[in-house]
């Protein structure tokens, strides 16, 4: 207890002494960790949207309205027999209608004036190997003519829709955004490490006489270092805490506004922000540890 | 208590500071190390503290072979060695009590030990009334007493003093020497580097004279030159 009290007092003195530099270090850690968290949230959001738009399937086989239950069963069987297919689910006209209504819930003119009868039932196919789309075309007897018009010879099959392209595009957008933000975040993390290391170094320089005496009377290296390590940890964890708060604010002001603008789209929840909070705090602690190692190297050689 | 065997110290800039120096100091001895500036007195003290390492030769302090002492054990060696310097090395923003207590606090001694030992040692050096003064409110002699109290509060086996009277007038210097003598009488081995001739001549203790890094004289009950 005594020792803890000593360390806390030393840390408080340290933070007071280099107020402005400590603040700069904290702000940099904050920006770095905020961007890091933002990249994670955007990635999460895009995954939710991709899930919703494509229903997480790569291929939809639309059925003609006159397809009987027997025909559907036979088509399902022949699709499931293909090596490229992972699973097949049946979506009835009613289910298609329900999905359509949620998709366009914010455009009543569109959803209310559409007769659900025109929406086809479909077999939704999840691919094990997305490059083997041709297998499905062949099995359903579908082909494109010179004008790009699709015709299918299998009875009951109206047309086939391949989402692979769209999926690839959405995934590409997600990764470009995430990677870009992460890259900036990493540069900022480097800056945060340098700034925190610098505050520690300035603190040690300001107290070099005290440290010299400590070494003379036989204080261990850890006794001398720990207050500075805690100082760095406090700085980066304050930055991390601020980053978590800022992410919640971004979630409320930006993502929750999307909820009104794009009612069809699923939006990340508070629990998603909460889930990445530990990651941000851990990243903050890692920053402090690296800064401590860098900042105090050489300074304390006995 | 201190044993230096054929020690040579060459600094990185190839200055030869100590040249085949051998010194043995028994427990409880009082030894002056004299010599002109640059003769190697301070280097010797730094080597005894393991602030510097000997280039050649063996050094034993308080039973420890310094060459074999790993760096994490150095602090524990220093807890057995008190040090006093010409410039006192007191912290200006701490009181006399805090300055002395600091030496115990940073080696993890509990508060009740500090509260007991600090007034005791300050009484011993004659500053029992000045516990709450700050260093700049004290005379040079008093500040040096505080630094001697700090050096002795953890009851070291060895006291190393580097020109402790260098900044003091002759009368005050005599007082400080009386105090060091008192510390020596309770069994602390004292090694003092100095070029204060009057003091060395008055004390008639063992004198080791260094010149250009070599021991040129080692005399019991000696004088300065």
Is B90 in contact with B99 (CB distance < 8 Å)? yes
Which DSSP letter does residue A121 get?
A: P
Read off the tokens for A45. 């959001």
A224 neighbourhood in chain B, CB within 8 Å: 106
Read off the tokens for B83. 């040090």
Interface contact A216-B76, CB threshold 8 A: no
Interface contact A220-B75, CB threshold 8 A: yes
Q: What distance in Å separates the CA atoms of residue A266 and residue A256, rounded to the nearest whole number?
A: 10
The runs of H, that is alpha helices, within chain A are: 2-17, 19-54, 69-80, 93-103, 108-112, 133-139, 164-206, 208-216, 221-250, 256-261, 270-296
Tell me the shortest Cα–Cα distance from B225 to chain A, in angstroms: 32
Is A192 in contact with A287 (CB distance < 8 Å)? yes
Residues 6+ apart with CB under 8 A from A148: none
A214 neighbourhood in chain B, CB within 8 Å: 102, 106
> Least CB-CB distance to A2: which of B74, B79, B110?
B110
Q: pLDDT at position A26, please? A: 87
Q: pLDDT at position B91, please? A: 94
Interface contact A217-B154, CB threshold 8 A: yes
A221 neighbourhood in chain B, CB within 8 Å: 72, 75
B75 neighbourhood in chain A, CB within 8 Å: 215, 218-221, 302
Residue A221 forms contact with B (CB below 8 Å): yes
Element (H, E) at A125: strand A122-127
Tell me the shortest Cα–Cα distance from A179 to chain B, in angstroms: 44
Read off the tokens for B133. 């003064």
> Least CB-CB distance to A2: which of B71, B91, B111?
B111
Q: What distance in Å separates the CA atoms of residue B143 and residue B131, rounded to the nearest whole number?
A: 12
Q: What distance in Å separates the CA atoms of residue A247 and residue B102, rounded to the nearest whole number?
A: 44
Backbone angles phi, psi at B65, to 5 degrees: -80, 110
Residue B14 forms contact with A (CB below 8 Å): no
Interface test with B, best of A217, A226, A297, A298 (most B CBs within 10 A): A217
Interface contact A213-B107, CB threshold 8 A: no
Q: pLDDT at position A302, please? A: 43
| Distance between first and last Cα of chain A | 28
Chain B 99-118, residues with CB within 8 Å of chain A CB atoms: 102-103, 105-108, 110-111
A218 neighbourhood in chain B, CB within 8 Å: 75-80, 107, 154
Residue B72 forms contact with A (CB below 8 Å): yes
Tell me the shortest Cα–Cα distance from A24 to chain B, in angstroms: 27
Q: pLDDT at position A96, please? A: 79
What CA dihedral angle connects A55, A61, A62 and A64, to 10 degrees?
A: -150
Is B177 in contact with B199 (CB distance < 8 Å)? yes
| Distance between first and last Cα of chain B | 26
DSSP-derived 3-state class of residue B129: coil
Residues 6+ apart with CB under 8 A from B213: B9, B16, B17, B18, B19, B21, B39, B40, B43
**pTM score, two decimals?**
0.71
Mean pLDDT, chain B, integer: 93
Q: Residues A282-291, buried b or exposed e (16+ Cβ, 10 A)? A: ebbeebbebb
Cα A218 versus chain centre, distance: 50
Q: Average pLDDT by consecutive 10-residue portion of chain A (302 residues)?
A: 71 73 84 87 79 67 79 80 79 79 68 74 76 73 72 76 75 80 82 84 84 92 86 89 92 81 75 88 92 76 48
Q: In what order do the strands lie in the sheet with A59-63?
A: A85-91, A122-127, A59-63, A157-162
Is B225 in contact with B197 (CB distance < 8 Å)? yes
The runs of H, that is alpha helices, within B32-73 are: 41-48
Q: Write out residues in chain B with pLDDT < 50, as ranges.
A: none
Is A236 in contact with A196 (CB distance < 8 Å)? yes
Count other C-beta atoms under 10 Å from residue B126's C-beta. Answer: 16
Is A255 in contact with A267 (CB distance < 8 Å)? yes
Which DSSP letter does residue A255 get?
A: I
A219 neighbourhood in chain B, CB within 8 Å: 75, 106-107
Q: pLDDT at position B29, please? A: 94
Residue A213 forms contact with B (CB below 8 Å): yes
DSSP-derived 3-state class of residue B190: strand
Residue A3 forms contact with B (CB below 8 Å): yes
A215 neighbourhood in chain B, CB within 8 Å: 75, 78
B160 neighbourhood in chain A, CB within 8 Å: none
Residue B186 forms contact with A (CB below 8 Å): no
Interface contact B83-A216, CB threshold 8 A: yes
């Amino acid at each position: 207890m005594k020792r803890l009290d000593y360390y806390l007092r030393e840390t408080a003195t340290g933070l007071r002494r280099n107020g402005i530099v400590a603040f700069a270090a904290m702000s940099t850690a904050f920006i770095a960790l905020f961007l890091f968290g933002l990249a994670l949230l955007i990635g999460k959001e895009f995954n939710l949207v991709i899930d919703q738009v494509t229903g997480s399937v790569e291929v939809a086989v639309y059925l003609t309205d006159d397809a009987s239950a027997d025909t559907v069963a036979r088509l399902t069987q022949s699709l499931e027999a293909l090596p490229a297919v992972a699973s097949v689910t049946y979506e009835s006209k009613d289910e298609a209608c329900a999905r359509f209504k949620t998709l366009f819930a914010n455009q009543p003119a569109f959803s209310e004036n559409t007769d659900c009868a025109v929406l086809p039932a479909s077999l939704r196919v999840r691919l094990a190997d997305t490059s083997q789309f041709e297998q499905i075309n062949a099995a359903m007897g579908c082909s494109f003519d010179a004008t790009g018009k699709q015709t299918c010879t299998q009875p009951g099959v109206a047309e086939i829709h391949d989402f692979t392209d769209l999926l690839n595009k959405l995934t590409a957008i997600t990764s470009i955004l995430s990677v870009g933000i992460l890259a900036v975040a990493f540069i900022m993390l480097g800056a945060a490490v340098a700034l925190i290391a610098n505050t520690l170094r300035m603190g040690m320089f300001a107290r070099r006489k005290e440290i010299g005496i400590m070494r003379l009377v036989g204080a261990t290296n850890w006794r001398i270092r720990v207050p500075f390590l805690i100082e760095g940890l406090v700085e980066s964890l304050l930055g991390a805490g601020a980053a978590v708060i800022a992410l919640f604010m971004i979630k409320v002001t930006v993502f929750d506004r999307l909820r009104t603008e794009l009612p069809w789209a699923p939006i990340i929840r508070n629990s998603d922000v909460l889930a990445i909070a530990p990651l941000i705090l851990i990243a903050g602690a890692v920053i402090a540890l690296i800064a401590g190692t860098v900042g105090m190297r050489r300074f304390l050689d006995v | 208590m201190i044993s230096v065997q054929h020690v040579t110290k060459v600094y990185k800039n190839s200055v030869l500071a100590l040249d085949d120096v051998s010194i043995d100091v028994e427990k409880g001895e009082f030894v002056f190390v004299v010599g002109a500036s640059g003769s190697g007195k301070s280097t010797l003290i730094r080597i005894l503290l393991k602030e510097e390492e000997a280039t050649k030769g063996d050094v034993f302090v308080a039973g420890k072979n310094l060459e074999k002492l790993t760096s994490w054990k150095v602090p524990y060696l220093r807890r057995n060695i008190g040090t006093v310097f010409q410039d006192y090395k007191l912290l200006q923003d701490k009181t006399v009590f805090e300055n002395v207590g600091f030496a115990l606090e940073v080696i993890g001694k509990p508060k009740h030990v500090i509260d007991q030992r600090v007034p005791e040692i300050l009484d011993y050096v004659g500053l029992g009334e000045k516990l709450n003064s700050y260093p700049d409110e004290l005379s040079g002699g008093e500040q040096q007493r505080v630094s001697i109290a700090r050096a002795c509060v953890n009851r070291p086996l060895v006291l190393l003093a580097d020109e402790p009277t260098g900044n003091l007038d002759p009368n005050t210097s005599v007082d400080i020497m009386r105090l060091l003598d008192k510390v020596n009488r309770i069994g602390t081995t004292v090694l003092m580097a100095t070029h204060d001739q009057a003091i060395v001549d008055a004390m008639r203790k063992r004198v080791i004279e260094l010149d250009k890094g070599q021991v040129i004289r080692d005399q019991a009950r000696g004088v300065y030159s």
